[in-house]
Structure 1
Amino acid sequence: MKITDSIYQKTRLTNGIRVVTEQIPYVRSVSVGAWIVVGSRDENTKNNGISHYIEHMMFKGTSNQTASEIAQSLESVGGHLNAFTGKELTCYYAHVLDEHLPRAVEVIADILSNSTFDEAEMGKEKRVVIEELNTINETPEELIHDLFWYDVFPNHALGLSIVGKRQTVSDLSRQGILDYLAENYTADRIVIAAAGNVQHDEILKLVERAFEKFSSGTLPNYQAPSPRGTGRNIIENGSIQAHVCLGTQAYPYRDRRKFGLLILNTLLGSGMSSRLFQNIREKHGIAYSIYSYIDFMFDTGLFGVYVGTDGQNIDVALDLIHKELALLKTTSVSAEELERTKSQLKGNLMLSLEGTSSRMNRLAKMEIYLEDHYSFDDTLNEIERITVDELLGISSELFSEDRIFTTILKPPNAT
């Protein structure tokens, strides 16, 4: 399985902005994103939600365009403009036909450089974000993940909600936002990534001109979270079903053991053939939704298992999940199951990277977290080299009972 029909290039501009491209000549579209190394991890309990709120406000008008004109700028030519905020990264991205790449770069640069943060628009958008918060709080299968992050990373910024809290969002001021932008939206923290039918030299010229206002700053000096021991947090709410997350801190993005964890995650809880799905849903019939997931960051990671079940089945579901985790610590995965899982993981990765948007995401994250680029074949080889003994070692470390934390959101009177 060889991928040889794309060309990777990287340039660091004089102001510190990094530009990475992957030319895929057989497509007609380009996905381009401005990635900023800032997220809820850069916040505190007083300004929690500011990164996400700024992302919203970037679309509310600049000195050159109204909010309506921004919305129409790429949609009018069949393109797409959007953004998202995470724990450590914020991304403003577009997907357009290759001929409209200059327009896409100009629009993204304009909202990042010239947003006005009008006081009236700020008030309206605070109400919008609070409605978003209300939606999360009334959607227990989403809320449980916020609660779980808070439990796994207590007294640390990684435990803060990305959206924030009603009070902290309401208290955000225009000057506070401008100060936060000046500190965090600096050239050293910006990566421009583009994948598709793009010429590296062309986008370099576009970015140099459009992003010239950005000056150098400093990269974040993150403090690694303290290890989290075992525990259980039970919260009652008005939901009909119980929602449970359990897991632990895991490996950083640059840790090569992440490939073994990717295999374990696939084996445990990715898809209908996974052990958790087959056991808890198919065999015992006590859950509709059951899966595992992982997240990799600069200096840590997260492994989690989610299950939604009847309130009377919480202990049964947890017992079954713990037995599956324990089995991986004591019993080697068979050669046949390992090969099948590797094939599933490699296939999933390859299929997920067929579009230019996913390729752009991969390109940017490798630059941000690794300051390097690895081909698809490099990744496939890393997966292929994982052995049964490595999986045992990772399982013994991460699934130890003294480090698994459980968060439970349950109906009143549930056992």
Structure 2
Amino acid sequence: MGVEVSRLSNGLTVATEMLPGMESVALGVWVKSGARNERDDEHGMAHLLEHMAFKGTAQRSAFQIASEIENVGGEINAATSVETTAFYARVLSSDVPLAVDLLADILQNSTFDPEELEREQNVILQEIGAAHDTPDDIVFDHFTETAFRHQTLGRSILGTPETVMSFNSAQLHRFIQREYGADRMIIVAAGDVKHDEFVHEVENRFGGLRPHAQGGAVQYAQYVGGDFRENRDLMDAQIILGFEGRAYHVRDFYASQVLSMILGGGMSSRLFQEVREKRGLCYSVYAFHWGFSDTGIFGIHAATGQANLGELVPVIAGELQKIGDHILEEELDRARAQYRAGLIMAGESPSSRASQIARQLLLFGRPIPSQELMERLSALTVGRLTDLSQRLFCTKPTLAAIGPIGSLSSYESVAGVLSPPGSATHRIAV
């Protein structure tokens, strides 16, 4: 039957997909508001709000929220990203009304009790401390902070101890009033779900939601690149080398995704074979591409011991140069197969499928049929990927490193190797 979409009178979008053979439903509310929507004095508030949503409403205590969903064997959770926040549940199909009621309650009636707030602020302080003590996590925060310096897109989602501890209940209420409205929210269910029945449940509980969020557009992001290094007494060094990537909506977004797979998307990828298998320079290496609404970032992460660090980055840079010269047809075919398999496997998981539909509706305003995605992949050519790589790896690099990094190549030498004369400020054409 495919994805069915309805819009309530207040503008709220509701989508479902019946998945054959299921007896459960994954459902959730996706909000087009995340860490990027915070003001300068709100750093970390979107993430704190996600935590506080489960800490009590006018009708339910924190224990009642947890026990009601677990009494029927279900689960409920939330997640904050740079551009979205999601509140989701997984239940048996007969318990969908309860899950919808719980989600509606926490999003419309949370009290943000001061005592609960203080406890949760301390929990997040521990989370910030744990992230700082995990080099392979915190290096990504430093990477994005360097790539998008002094911008909301580059800030850590967790916030800082100072900002998190400064928030009060009134500020949380103002944030949700400003950022959460029907025009920014998508409610999706996938699994054993009937569309009309689900829309009826949502209408009953979300029909009174304010039609419009009050918050304005986010700050336009500008990739700047640069260098971050932190010497630490660790066994291994964590390195990320990155470049300006592609936004969701522009040409070559999917080409960038496929290029990351060819370069470092699995054990058969170029980086894994050359850097790890043939040379033994690291124990972990992979490439990634993150798209946002107005920009993107392409990166290579590697973890290695101090002895191999001096050779590692030059070898990675050499592979980036090689891929701009030649890509094999069989590499493109393999990357297409990986991408296609990932889409199909995600479609077989109710939770993954609900999230996929929500992202498509938030980003593109419509669900994108799998066949359309397959056609986009089929249209990619070796020539298009080599052209993209030649332009992409000439953008100003971002280098982030943590650990025993005394022998790491200088930023200037890495940038000089990757950028031909006169191209240091070259940007990818849209």
TM-score (norm 1): 0.94
User: What's the Cα RMSD here?
Assistant: 1.5
Correspondence for 1:317 among 309, 312, 321: 312
Q: Compute the displacement of 1:227 (Å).
A: 3.5
> 1:212 aligned to 2:237?
no
- Within the candidate set 361, 372, 391, 1:367 is matched to 361
Residue in 2 that maps onto 1:404: 397
C-alpha distance after superposition, 1:170-196 (max 9, x if no partner): 101111111111100111111101111
State the secondary structure of the residue aligned to 1:287: coil
State which drifts further: 288-297 or 386-395: 288-297
The equivalent of 1:37 in structure 2 is 32
Distance 2:250 2:348 in 1: 25
| 1:352 positional shift | 2.9
Distance 2:233 2:27 in 1: 42
Deviation at 1:136?
0.2
CA distance in 2, matches of 1:7, 1:150: 40
Asked if 2 retains the 8 angstrom alpha-carbon contact of 1:62 and 1:111, the reply is yes
Partner AA of 2:266 in structure 1 = G
Distance in 2 (alpha carbons) for counterparts of 1:337 and 1:112: 46
- 1:356 alignment partner AA: P
Deviation at 1:226, TM superposition (A): 2.0
CA distance in 2, matches of 1:170, 1:258: 38
1:114-157 deviation line (CA, Å, top 9, x unaligned): 11111111000000000000110000000000000101111211
What corresponds to 1:345 in structure 2? 339
2:75 is matched with 80
Work out which of the residue numbers 166, 187, 195 in structure 2 matches 1:192.
187
Question: Is the partner of 2:17 in helix, strand or coil?
Answer: strand
Within 5 Å, give how 1:80-159 maps onto structure 2. 80-159=75-154
**Residue equivalent to 1:228:** 224
User: 1:223 Cα deviation (Å)?
Assistant: 3.1
Measured in 1, the distance between the counterparts of 2:127 and 2:190 equals: 31
Instruction: Give me the whole-angstrom Cα distance separating, in 2, the residues matched to 1:228 and 1:315.
Output: 25
Structure 2 counterpart of 1:253: 248
Q: Percent identity?
A: 34
Check conservation: 2:152, 2:219, Cα contact below 8 A: no
> CA 1:249 to 1:220, structure 2 compared with 1: closer, same or farther past 3 Å?
farther
SS at match of 1:350: helix
Would you say how many aligned residue pairs link Structure 1 and Structure 2? 407
Distance in 2, matches of 1:157 and 1:184, equals 15
Offset of residue 375 of structure 1: 1.2
Matches within 5 A, 1:1-20: 6-20=1-15
Paired residue for 2:420? none
1:354 aligns with 2:348: yes
Quick one: distance in 2 between partners of 1:217 and 1:249? 33
Per-residue CA deviation, residues 291-349 of structure 1 (Å, 9 max, x unaligned), is: 11122221112211111111332231111111111111122x12222212212221232
Secondary structure in structure 1 of the residue aligned to 2:209: coil
Equivalent of 2:285, from 283, 290, 306? 290
8 A Cα contact 2:19 2:192, kept in partner: yes
Q: Secondary structure at the match of 2:266?
A: coil
The one-letter amino acid paired with 1:380 is M
Name the amino acid aligned to 2:114: E
Counterpart selection for 1:394 from 358, 365, 388: 388
**Range moving further from structure 2, 130-139 or 93-102:** 93-102
- The alignment partner of 2:302 has SS state of strand
Aligned equivalents of 2:243, 2:169: Cα separation in 1 = 37
Other structure's SS at 1:20 match = strand
Unaligned regions of 5+ residues in structure 2, if any?
Answer: 409-430
Give the letter for the 2:403 counterpart.
K
Q: Name which structure has the greater RCO, CA cutoff 8 Å, separation 6+.
A: 1
Counterpart code for 1:99: S
Superposition deviation, residue 76 in structure 1: 1.8
Which residues in structure 2 correspond to 1:325-340 (within 5 Å)? 325-331=320-326, 333-340=327-334
Runs of 4 or more, structure 1, over 6 Å off, are none
Which residues of structure 1 form unaligned runs of 5+? 1-5
Alignment partners' CA distance in 2, 1:312 and 1:16 = 58
> Which amino acid in 2 is paired with 1:224?
Y
Q: Note if contact 1:113-1:213 (Cα within 8 Å) is conserved in structure 2.
A: no
